[in-house]
């Protein structure tokens, strides 16, 4: 017990000296805000892009379908950190856009490939008779997809989209590669000043764990409500 007490006392002292003293915790707060902002923007980009790619793939022919297939293959086959650095240093390096926005675009492009496959699976799970019914009512293919097929598909894949959002939150930890002060980068910067890596990095890990478990709990509640509505 004495050993445990000494460890806890040493850790609490480390928290004070590393984070509270000189207000270094503000770096973590700023990084947390950037991580959440990047996640939200990237998720919005990923969902819109994924929906478009899924519809293009389902058409199954033409240049646009081939582009969608190639896009998904390339994005899913290369590491996200490589995509992030290519977009930042090569594609958008001279654009003058804020680093947070560039990171959001990069993660959104990456997420879009995975979201596309999730939505495509959801659309394929909708009974084919729904499409035939919509067309028999005089609706065009785009309107049938918009008003009949996609709403049903989104409901089917909401849990999978929630899991993708959780993965996206954790992936933003590599945004520091392009100089964005996200949560992970904030912890490392504090450690580089205080020479204490244990306290800030453990705090970063705990914040990510708390965030993802909270999101997972919300996702479970959503799944139960969807099952009740069915």
| pLDDT confidence tier of residue 8, bands split at 50, 70 and 90 | low
Measuring CA to CA, how many Å separate 163 from each of 45, 69, 82, 149? 16, 23, 23, 22
What are the φ and ψ backbone dihedral angles of 31, each rounded to 5 degrees? -65, -40
The ranges assigned to domains in the chain are: 2-229
CATH number, domain 2-229, options 1.20.120.420, 1.10.10.60, 1.10.3720.10, 3.20.20.140: 1.10.3720.10
More confidently predicted of 127 and 113: 113
Would the pTM count as exceeding 0.75? yes
Question: Taking all residues of the chain, what is their mean pLDDT, rounded to a whole number?
Answer: 86
Six token digits for residue 59? 């058409």
pLDDT tens figures, 47-61: 999 989 998 888 767
């Amino acid at each position: 017990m004495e050993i445990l007490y000494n460890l806890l006392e040493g850790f609490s002292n480390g928290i004070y000296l590393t984070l509270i003293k000189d207000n270094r915790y503000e770096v973590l707060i700023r990084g947390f805000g950037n991580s959440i902002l990047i996640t939200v923007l990237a998720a919005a980009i990923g969902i819109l892009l994924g929906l478009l790619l899924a519809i293009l793939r389902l058409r199954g022919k033409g240049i646009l379908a081939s582009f969608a297939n190639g896009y998904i293959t390339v994005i899913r086959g290369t590491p996200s950190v490589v995509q992030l650095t290519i977009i930042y240093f090569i594609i958008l390096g001279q654009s003058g856009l804020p680093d947070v926005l560039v990171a959001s675009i990069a993660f959104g492009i990456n997420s879009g490939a995975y979201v596309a496959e999730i939505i495509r699976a959801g659309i394929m799970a909708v009974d084919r008779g729904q499409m035939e019914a919509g067309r028999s009512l005089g609706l065009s293919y785009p309107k049938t997809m918009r008003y009949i097929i996609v709403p049903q598909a989104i409901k089917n894949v909401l849990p999978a989209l929630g899991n993708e959002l959780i993965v996206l939150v954790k992936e933003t930890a590599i945004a520091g590669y392009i100089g964005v002060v996200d949560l992970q980068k904030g912890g490392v910067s504090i450690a580089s000043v205080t020479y204490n890596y244990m306290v800030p990095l453990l705090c970063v890990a705990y914040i990510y764990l708390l965030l993802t478990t909270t999101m997972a709990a919300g996702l479970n509640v959503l799944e139960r409500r969807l099952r009740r509505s069915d």
